[in-house]
Structure formats: structure tokens, C-alpha cells
Structure 1
């Protein structure tokens, strides 16, 4: 019976994906006017309570209100249209209009984004937003993304990731030694965790809960709101504030689809995307605070890492190696050094 349910579930997902993607690209080469009615589909991989969904719903609200329903927006949460990579591929191909995702996931398609995946890149939120709201952020959202078939509509933030463990808290480097930590399929993440002494394991987010239950991995790395909405806090009882990865997030539209729109609709969509991602960040900050309190009440042990210097040194030790494979990476590091007035390789 369990196997039958799994088969039926898989078939339903496949049908939903096929239905949703059908028609998205069918008229993708036809130029629309500012009077045309059409539907924009936005997908993401997170739960309905997540800030990705909040951003998508805000975009929907703005677009439908500003156009009096001429443009309708459909939001597909929780991987309804497939895994994160599948939806990004669909946007690139023009068979899905939009996706909300992190730049870590996007770096598999726009490799320039990998520079922002490096651990302990920024010292605080002031540095993070100074860079993201500058010409650097603009270049990454537009020039580099558009070359690969995407257009960034706005930059948000998912805060910083922390180690969320089943086995033990992390206070220092010794505590993470040999720990099997689930990471995304990113060479930057893998190299960073290996440098810090952990044993990174790549797997899809959809497989994580079971992997933690079965002991396939010892820990995940997540922001509080993601740990809460995914329910991994029910298994992982130690949340250590390592704050290792900064998490830019973006709302992307298919460049192929975008070029079919009237100039008026293009301007409206870009403005709505920017507003939606500003809302995402405000929503996320509150969600993280509330999630951490709920996790504490449920018995999660939360601890500070008082001296992050050894972690920072380890992470920075692989910067040069990582940047060898990142297009424009060294150039961007130099730009950030001039902008922030410091050595980006220093501890």
C-alpha cells in the first residue's frame, strides 16, 4: 500500500508539473501588448510559511492590484512544480515564468554567483547590504544572470546559516570534526566545510528529514525559520550559531518570457519584484526570531560560538582555490575591497 501511494503521488506531481509548464512557453516568442491578459507562474521549494512564499504572494498582490487582474499570478510553493533545480531549469528554458530561490542554488546556472557562497565573506549586515545594493549586486542580477537566461527582479536575504545537529552542539572546531553535515550540491560549500573539518554530504533538501532520522547525516546547516518550517528541529536538538554562510536570495524571471512583455509591463514587474524582495527580508527577520523561540520552547539547545576566528581562518584558507573556478570572482573581490575598505581575505 505504501509503495502504491508513493507511485500515485509521483504520478500526480508529474501531471501537475506538465500541466503547469504547458502553455508557459507556448507563446513565449509572441510580443504582448500592455492590454493583453496573461498568467505568471512563480515556483519555489519552500513551505507556505517561508519568506520565499511571502515574497511570491506580495508580488502577486502588487501585480494583480496594479493591473486590475489583467495579469494574474499563480504561486506554487513546497516544490509543487518539482525540485529547486528543475524549476530553475524551466525558467531558463522559458517554460516557467518565475522562481524565488537562493543564489547558492542559482550558482549552478550562473557560476558568477559562487563568490557570495564563500563562508564568512561579510562581517555584518552593513557590509552585506552595502554590496548587494551597489553596482555589484546590479551586475550580478542583470548582466551575469541575463547572459544565462534569467533576470533578477530584486535581492533579499535569508540571514546566515548555522549548524543544526542531532549529535552534539558546536562550540569550537573540534566539535565539528568529522560531523556529517548535509550541504547543497555546491563545490564552494563542500570545500568550505571540508576546510572546517566536517564531512559534507550532498543531497536534495527533500531527502534531508529522513536522512537525519536514519543517521545518514548528523546535521544540517539552516536558518531558524527553515529549520522550523521543515520540522527538522523535531530531530536536531542542537542549534549552534556558527553564522558561516551569508544567504542572498533573489526573485528571477525568465529573460525569454520577459522580452515578450510590453515596456510598461516590464517596468511594473521589475518594480513589483524589488518591493516583494524588500518585504521578504522584513518577513524573514521576524520569522527567524519567532522560529528560534519556538525551537527553544520545544527543547532545542541554542548556543553562541564565542570565538569564530578558527572557523573564519579555515574558511578563508580555501578562498584562492575556490576563486580559480569562479568567473569574475577575483575581480569582484577587488571591487568589494575598494567598496568596504578592507582586505576580503583577512580574518
Structure 2
């Protein structure tokens, strides 16, 4: 019993300084504004590298008046934990998949519809245009959120430890990890597999011990989280292309001095472009490294997956709205 209490006390002493403070937090001992930025991705991930770029640029633009502290690799919990931290004022910035916001904004599941986007260019036109503005100006304010940047997060493909996937016939019976979001589970069910939600940090051991057969994600995660070590088959299903988004508490941002707000927006815009550049650059590097590590890549018959995806669209159109779907498709 004493040992349990001691461990709990030590954990509290470690974690409390990270999450200390409420809306009035963000001031360092030297008077600096401190912005804590949390994510689940590994240190080498291109998005993590873009955060350090942002931290450097913001310090330059504010003559050192703002310090950005980066917490990668799920140091502050999962996406849901960090979004709650944003709402509570214990965390200033986080990145999540757009669809992670669906518990607050069901319409944002438009970004999770399988085969909604046919290219990265299509996706970025959407988030950089009227649709991105619509969410930021009309939808996000309801929860006091604001999007500082939209990131390229690549396309998601299925990887597993059992067999190559060539069509939906090969996904039948597979248990695949998916994000904690109904539209991902619905997509896997449509493809004949079973999707099971699981925190990012648990995937490796679950693959290693056979708790799951595989997962689905982009190169950057497959490589960065070392999943290729325990799941050698990577099949280019490219079934979902969801942008990631940098979220901040709107009222907190607006409480900062005007010149600091301007600097944050400028640094965020530069970070957005840097992340997109790093993503493209990293994809080729990851592919070469994964190939050298013995990963077996294969193309798939996408027509079987696209046909199966129709049922997902039918089930979610009423939630998302046909007008919004049409708007997204109009950018093709």
C-alpha cells in the first residue's frame, strides 16, 4: 500500500507542473508567455519537426517574449485528453486529426469518408478554401476552438502481420486498429474487417502479441512508431485522406496582446507550409527505409474498396449534409 501511494505521489509531482494553471497560465518565471503544444507523434515525425520550426519562428517574431514547449510521443496523453486540456485551459495547442473533433462537430466527419479525396492537391484546396473557413468561422466557435493551421497527413493504408491485401476479400476476418471514431470502424466493417479503437502508444505491443492483426495509417506513423517491425505487409488501400489540424482555445488566443496574436498567426502559417514540405520530403525517405527493412508493399484493386465504401457514405450523408459533401467534391 505504501509503495502504491509513493508511486502515485511521484507521478503527481511529475505531471502537475506540465498541466499546471488554467486560463491565466502561460506565464514563465521570467514573464514569458509559454505555449505548451502536445501531440501523439514520435520525435522524428515531420509534424513534430514542424512544431520546433514554429517554436523557433515565434521566438524570433516576438523577440523571445513567447516560448513554445513541445510535448511529442503522447507525453500528455491521447488526442481526446489533449483536446480536453485545450478546453480546460491547461494546454494551449494540440494537433489532432480533423475527425477527432467529430464528438464536438459531427459534420467534420466529411474528412473521414472513404475515398472522398482523390489527391493531396484536392484535400489542400478544400482546407485552404471556403470549407476550411466555414469550419473555423462557423463551426469551431461553438466549442471555443480555433484552427491555426491545416496539415497534410497523407493517405491511410492498411498494414498487417498476416498477408498482403489485394481486395476486400483479403480483409475479411482481420482485426485492425483504428482511431476512436465511428466512421473509421464503419469503414473497416464495410471492407470486411473489424476495426477496434486503441491508443497510438499501444499499437506496437498489440501487434507484437497478436492482440490485433494490423492497423491503418500513413508512412510517417508506420515508420515513426516502428510498426513495420511487427507488421511487414503494407497494402496501398489509401482509403482515407484526413487532414490534421492545429487547435487552440479561441478565447485564450484573443486574450493575448495584439502583436503576439499577429506573430502566432504568422508563425503558424509558416509552420503549415513547412509541415507540408516536410511531409512530401519524408514520404520518400520513409519508403526507402521501410523497403530496406523488408516491408512488402503492394497495390490493391481499389474498385472493390470504393464499392464497399458506398454504404459508409449512405450512412453518414444525413449527419454531414449533402451540401457540404457537394462542396468538398466541387474542388476536384
Normalising by structure 1, we get a TM-score of: 0.88
Distance 1:295 1:128 in 2: 26
Q: In the superposition, relative to structure 1, how do residues 300 and 188 fare at CA in structure 2: closer, same or farther (>3 Å)?
A: same
Q: How does 1:152-167 map to 2 (within 5 A)?
A: 152-167=147-162
Q: 1:245 aligns with which of 240, 244, 254?
A: 240
Residue 168 of structure 2 is aligned to residue 173 of structure 1: yes
* Aligned match of 1:335: 327
Instruction: Name structure 2 gaps, 5 residues minimum.
Output: none
Q: In the superposition, relative to structure 1, how do residues 7 and 151 fare at CA in structure 2: closer, same or farther (>3 Å)?
A: farther
Q: CA shift at 1:175, angstroms? A: 0.8
Q: CA shift at 1:321, angstroms? A: 0.8
Distance 2:6 2:119 in 1: 47
SS at match of 2:273: helix
Residue 315 of structure 2 is aligned to residue 321 of structure 1: yes
SS at match of 1:244: strand
* Aligned match of 1:258: 253
Residue 55 of structure 2 is aligned to residue 60 of structure 1: yes
Q: In the superposition, relative to structure 1, how do residues 204 and 66 fare at CA in structure 2: closer, same or farther (>3 Å)?
A: same
8 Å CA contact 2:234, 2:295 repeated in 1: yes
Distance 2:240 2:81 in 1: 24
8 Å CA contact 1:165, 1:220 repeated in 2: yes
Distance 2:32 2:173 in 1: 55
Q: CA shift at 1:52, angstroms? A: 2.3
Q: In the superposition, relative to structure 1, how do residues 119 and 258 fare at CA in structure 2: closer, same or farther (>3 Å)?
A: same
* Aligned match of 1:230: 225
Q: CA shift at 1:5, angstroms? A: 11
Higher helix share: 2
* Aligned match of 2:15: 17
Q: In the superposition, relative to structure 1, how do residues 119 and 106 fare at CA in structure 2: closer, same or farther (>3 Å)?
A: same
Q: In the superposition, relative to structure 1, how do residues 280 and 12 fare at CA in structure 2: closer, same or farther (>3 Å)?
A: farther
Residue 192 of structure 2 is aligned to residue 204 of structure 1: no
Q: How far does the alpha carbon of each residue in 1:57-78 deviate from its partner, in whole angstroms, 9 at most, with x for none?
A: 1110111011111111111111
RMSD of aligned residue pairs (Cα, Å): 2.3
SS at match of 1:242: strand
Q: How does 1:41-190 map to 2 (within 5 A)?
A: 41-190=36-185
Distance 1:79 1:8 in 2: 24
Distance 1:27 1:296 in 2: 46
Distance 1:135 1:238 in 2: 38
Instruction: Name structure 1 gaps, 5 residues minimum.
Output: 341-347
8 Å CA contact 1:184, 1:204 repeated in 2: yes
Q: How far does the alpha carbon of each residue in 1:136-192 deviate from its partner, in whole angstroms, 9 at most, with x for none?
A: 112223431222121101111110011111000101111111211111111111111
Q: In the superposition, relative to structure 1, how do residues 330 and 289 fare at CA in structure 2: closer, same or farther (>3 Å)?
A: same
List structure 1 segments (4+ residues) > 4 angstroms apart after TM superposition.
4-14
8 Å CA contact 1:151, 1:255 repeated in 2: yes
Q: CA shift at 1:227, angstroms? A: 0.8
8 Å CA contact 1:100, 1:251 repeated in 2: yes
* Aligned match of 1:40: 35
Q: CA shift at 1:24, angstroms? A: 4.5
Q: How far does the alpha carbon of each residue in 1:95-150 deviate from its partner, in whole angstroms, 9 at most, with x for none?
A: 21111222122323333221101111011223212212111112223431222121
Normalising by structure 2, we get a TM-score of: 0.92
Q: CA shift at 1:13, angstroms? A: 5.5
8 Å CA contact 1:93, 1:149 repeated in 2: no
8 Å CA contact 1:16, 1:80 repeated in 2: no
Distance 1:113 1:263 in 2: 30
* Aligned match of 1:343: none
8 Å CA contact 1:131, 1:336 repeated in 2: yes
